Structure 1
Amino acid sequence: MPRGHKEPHRLESVNWLRAAVLGANDGIVSTASLVAGVASAHTAHGSVVLTAIAGMVAGAMSMATGEYVSVSSQRDTEKAALVQEQAELDADFSREHQELTAIYVRRGLDMPLARQVAEKLMEHDALGAHARDELGISGINSARPLQAALASACSFATGAALPVFVAALAPEPVLLPSIAVSALVSLAALGGLAARAGGAKVGPGVIRVVFWSSLAMGASSGVGVLFGAVA
């Protein structure tokens, strides 16, 4: 007798991986650019390290705050949609059954089977069926503000830790090249990882992240040189 099995779909884990990689990218780029700008202004080494730590903390908190507010708004929208859907079910159950049936017909089922599927699912969990198939809300993609905020803060801080450590350990004469090289190598690796996780070509992903990150650090260095000279 054949044994049942569950195919290992990894869509949810891939999405989390890509989000974590993007957060780490932000941490590396923003903190390395900040360090490059301050160091280019010939600031004392201790002040550069302090700036890097402050940038890491501020960036992580900013990411957490922004993600919490954004996902909370999404959650409120989902809750309002579910309340409205429940009211529609209470007001006209048969009409909602027809609506769900029409959804399944558009997805390829013939009318008798679509009607039967809609009936069985609504007998089991009418609101859940409409939330999933009409509104696109499910347990996998429903909004979780605290989880999203914590994940964003941790991924940003993880990425930002690299330029912080380099700023603390690298001798002052080679601080700028050390920051640039370590940041770009790490970003190239993360860009390749993000591309592979999404099933895209690795080369273009690496080139994009390295190019734009180099531009960001170069612009920050230019600001540091300009204002350092003025000071």
Structure 2
Amino acid sequence: MARLSGRHLEFHKGERIGWLRAAVLGANDGVVSTASLIVGVAAANADRSEILLSGVAGLVAGAMSMAAGEYVSVSSQADTENADLAREAKELATNPEFEKEELAQIYVKRGLDSEVAHKVAEQLMAHNALESHARDELGITESTLARPIQAAFASAATFSVGAGLPLLVVLIAEHKNLVYSVSLASLFFLVVLGVVAARAGGASIFKGALRVGFWGAFAMLVTALIGKLFGTVVQ
């Protein structure tokens, strides 16, 4: 399996994108899906034990689903990257002059004059030909390589943490106020999550908090209405 070597000494926020995406997605889904499930069941006038059972079942099923889905998705990306790198390595071995010219033309299109572009291509290929082509021709770098196992564990772990927060509220809140307590607490958790994710990624804090807060509130509202309707019909 072809891989890239070398690390950039300067840290950029873009290097966080792989694990940050999986972590934010997992935690956000954990809070939203579990809180929505709890709110829906509570709105149907279920007792505390039934609500807890539903929440725990949602946590376990959701964590496993997130891990499996993320692993399959990122593995597909990794397979594509590895196939591209293997093909590029083969082309470099069989036709290095053509590959050098191809790399030089990429630099020409980016604004270098032809002489400088050819010198840059020659020196970069002498240092690490595969890494140069992977970065500038394929758009693959060490910091953006797909890591399926890391993504799967990050998604499952953060989903579990997120799902555990509304479950904790169920344990400590009064039963008659569960719908409101879980909803408000979960919205708070989502806003905090949005702020943390935005800061880590260097994005707008307000937009990050607004996005997760809005969609979380919408999801809980829909499930509460369904739970209320279902509970009324059953009774």
Q: One-letter code of the match for 1:184?
A: L
Instruction: Name 1:135's counterpart in structure 2.
Output: 138
Deviation at 1:162, TM superposition (A): 0.3
Q: Assess if the C-alpha contact under 8 Å between 1:14 and 1:197 holds in 2.
A: no
SS in 1 for 2:82: helix
**C-alpha distance in structure 2 between counterparts of 1:220 and 1:39, whole Å:** 10
SS of aligned partner of 1:134: helix
Offset at residue 160 of structure 1 (A): 0.8
Match of 1:45 among 31, 38, 48: 48
Moved more, 161-170 or 143-152: 161-170
Unaligned runs of 5+ in 2: 1-8
In the alignment, which residue of structure 2 is the partner of 1:229?
232
Report whether the alignment pairs 1:147 with 2:160.
no
Unmatched 5+ stretches in structure 1: 1-5
> What is the one-letter code of the residue matched to 2:74?
V
Instruction: Check conservation: 1:20, 1:155, Cα contact below 8 A.
Output: yes
Counterpart check, 1:187 vs 2:208: no
Asked whether 1:91 is paired with 2:94, we answer yes
Quote how far apart the aligned CAs of 1:14 are. Answer: 6.1
Do residues 208 (structure 1) and 204 (structure 2) align?
A: no
- Aligned residue among 37, 59, 64 for 1:61: 64
RMSD: 1.8
Q: Secondary structure at the match of 1:11?
A: helix
Number of equivalenced pairs:
226
Q: Would the aligned equivalents of 2:74 and 2:151 in 1 still touch at CA under 8 Å?
A: yes
- What does residue 222 of structure 2 align with? 219
The residue identity in structure 2 corresponding to 1:42 is N
Contact between 1:162 and 1:183, CA under 8 Å: does it hold in 2?
yes
Is the contact made by 1:60 and 1:154 (CA closer than 8 Å) also made in structure 2? yes
**Residues 144-195 of structure 1: per-residue CA shift (max 9 Å, x gap):** 1000100111111111110111112222111111101100111112222333
TM-fit CA distance, 1:106: 1.8
Instruction: Please report how far the alpha carbon of residue 7 of structure 1 lies from its aligned counterpart in structure 2 after TM superposition.
Output: 4.8
**Secondary structure, aligned partner of 2:143:** coil
- Which residue identity is paired with 1:23? G
> What's the offset of the Cα at 1:65?
0.5
